[in-house]
Amino acid sequence: MRETEIHLGEPPVVALIGVGVHGVAGRTDVFRLPELWQLHLYQYEAELTVDGTAHAIRPGRVSLVPPGTTVRYRYRGRSEHLFAHLRIAPAGPPRTVPVVQDAGPELLTLTDLLLQAVAAAPSEADRTRAEIWTALWRVAHLTPSAVTDSGPHPAVTTAIAHIEAHLAAPLTIPDVARAAGVSHNHLTRLFRAETGGTVVAYIRHRRLERAHHLLRATTLSIPAVAASVGIPDLQAFNKACRRELGASPRALRGTGA
């Protein structure tokens, strides 16, 4: 087994977490967990076989093994790793993840997350779940091919991240394209292919969606809401709300629509 499918739509249940020490009583372990996932972050060199597929273990590698899978470890001596045994519900879309992969630049972050989860486990189960859930999301994105489909074009993903971080600021297509590392025209083509719409339409939709929330859920003044979504001109904001949301800002606030 080289890849597995995992669902990350909700936090896992952490059945057990800690620091595992192996290779002391014997140089080989063969076992399986019928109902639990295994997440391991390694600090040693060894050989791991997962359902007949051999993997090299070395410091900085992470493994994610699904329930019911037979694993065989061959140690070279005392071997210590961080581990978590998890129940993961089939919530959210499936993601294809390598069974074993290098943590790479994420090693320090993953180590810190797991250590915090271990420290919280005796008294703060919810925090442990949160730390492990974050770690699983990072593991799922270590390898570009770890997603079932190819996903959005990287330039579109970068463009959307830039837009989301700068909704309150003036946004132009050339600025967004520059942040995404592509030309204006290329971004326009990519964005339409990925989303079916234009960059301008996306920015407008996200600004008004945020404005709708702020009008309904906060007591911010209407001018403050307008400024926070990058439409400080109140007349333009009023027109945008009527066009996109079907009512004026004052009416939206008054009705809770």
Q: Are 102 and 142 in contact (CB under 8 A)?
A: yes
**pLDDT at position 253 over 90:** no
- The Cα 179–Cα 32 span in angstroms is 47
Residue 158 and residue 130 in one domain: no
Residue 104 and residue 182 in one domain: no
**pLDDT at position 252 over 60:** yes
Residue 121 and residue 137 in one domain: yes
Residue 141 and residue 198 in one domain: no
Burial grade of 207 (CB within 10 A; 0-12, 13-18, 19 or more): buried
pLDDT grade for 1, boundaries at 50, 70 and 90: confident
Residue 139 and residue 53 in one domain: yes
Structural domain tally of the chain?
2
Domain that holds residue 142: 3-146
Residue 171 and residue 198 in one domain: yes
Give the pairing of strands 100-102 and 61-65.
antiparallel
Residue 57 and residue 126 in one domain: yes
pLDDT at residue 152, rounded to an integer: 73
* Residue 177, domain CATH: 1.10.10.60
**pLDDT at position 42 over 90:** yes
Q: Which amino acid is at 125?
A: A
Model confidence over 141-192: pLDDT tens digits? 987 643 444 567 888 989 999 999 999 999 999 999 999 999 999 999 999 9
Residue given tokens 């945008």 in the structure block: 240
pTM for the full predicted model:
0.68
Residue 128 and residue 161 in one domain: no
- The Cα 13–Cα 86 span in angstroms is 6
Q: 30-69 burial string, b = 16+ CB within 10 Å, else e?
A: eeebeebbbbbbbbbebebebbeeebebeebbbbbbbeeb
What angle separates helix 107-120 from helix 125-140, to the nearest 10 degrees? 160
Residue 225: count other Cβ atoms within 10 Å of its Cβ.
22
Task: Look at residues 91, 124, 146 and tell me which one is the last residue of a structural domain.
Answer: 146
User: For every residue of 43-88, which 3-state class applies, written as one string?
Assistant: CCCEEEEECCEEEEECCCEEEEECCCCCEEEEECCCEEEEEEEEEC
pLDDT at residue 154, rounded to an integer: 84
Residues 222/225/227/233 CA torsion (nearest 10 deg): -40
Residues 36/37/41/47 CA torsion (nearest 10 deg): 90
Residue 51 and residue 163 in one domain: no
Task: Look at residues 120, 146, 172 and tell me which one is the last residue of a structural domain.
Answer: 146
CB contact set of 69 (below 8 Å; sequence gap of 6+)? 1, 32, 50, 51
Q: Are 48 and 100 in contact (CB under 8 A)?
A: yes
Model confidence over 107-146: pLDDT tens digits? 999 999 999 999 999 999 999 999 999 999 999 998 764 3
Which pair of structure tokens corresponds to residue 203? 């920015």
pLDDT at residue 148, rounded to an integer: 43
* Residue 139, domain CATH: 2.60.120.280
Which pair of structure tokens corresponds to residue 60? 């900085």
- The Cα 256–Cα 245 span in angstroms is 12
Task: Look at residues 117, 146, 175 and tell me which one is the last residue of a structural domain.
Answer: 146
Burial grade of 13 (CB within 10 A; 0-12, 13-18, 19 or more): middle
Residue 123 and residue 23 in one domain: yes
Residue 123 and residue 86 in one domain: yes
Q: Which amino acid is at 73?
A: Y
Residue 130 and residue 207 in one domain: no
pLDDT grade for 255, boundaries at 50, 70 and 90: low
